[in-house]
Structure 1
Amino acid sequence: MDDFTRADMEEALRAIASMINRTEKAQEKFAQGTWQHTMLSNNLKALHIALPMLTKALREVSL
C-alpha cells in the first residue's frame, strides 16, 4: 500500500461504502434467481471483503 496516500485510501473507503449501499438498493429491484440479482450478490461479496481489508490497511498507515 506504499503507492497510495492516506487521502487516497480514505476516498476509496468512502467509495466502497457508497457502492455497497447503492448495490444493496439496486438488488432489491431484481427477483432472486435472476442473473442481475446474482451478479449484484457477487459484487456485494467482493465489496464486503474489500471494505475490512482497506480499513485494516488504513489503520496500518496510521501507525
Structure 2
Amino acid sequence: MINYSETELNEAKRQIASTVHKLKETVKTLEGKEQSQRYRSQITLAKRRIVEFTLALDLIEEKLMN
C-alpha cells in the first residue's frame, strides 16, 4: 500500500471536490435542456461519477483523520 502525504491527500481532495462540483453543474445543465432525454446517457454517467468521486472523497477524509 502506498503512503500518501497529508499534502497529497488534501490536494487530491480539493481536485476531486472541484470535479464533483463541475459534474453537478453539468447534470443541471443537461437536465435543463429542452430535449433532455437526448442526453440521458451523459446524465447517467455524470451522476455515477458524482457517486464514485464522493466515495473517494469520503475515503480520503477517513485517511486524513487517521
Consecutive unaligned residues of structure 2, counting only runs of 5 or more, are none
Q: What is the deviation of 1:16?
A: 1.1
Report how many residues are paired. 60
Q: TM-score, normalised by structure 2?
A: 0.79
2:61 is the counterpart of 1:58: no
Partners of 1:23 and 1:14 lie apart in 2 by 14
Higher helix share: 2
In the TM superposition, 1:37-52 aligns within 5 A as: 37-52=43-58
Q: TM-score, normalised by structure 1?
A: 0.83
In the TM superposition, 1:1-63 aligns within 5 A as: 2-31=2-31, 34-60=40-66
Consecutive unaligned residues of structure 1, counting only runs of 5 or more, are none
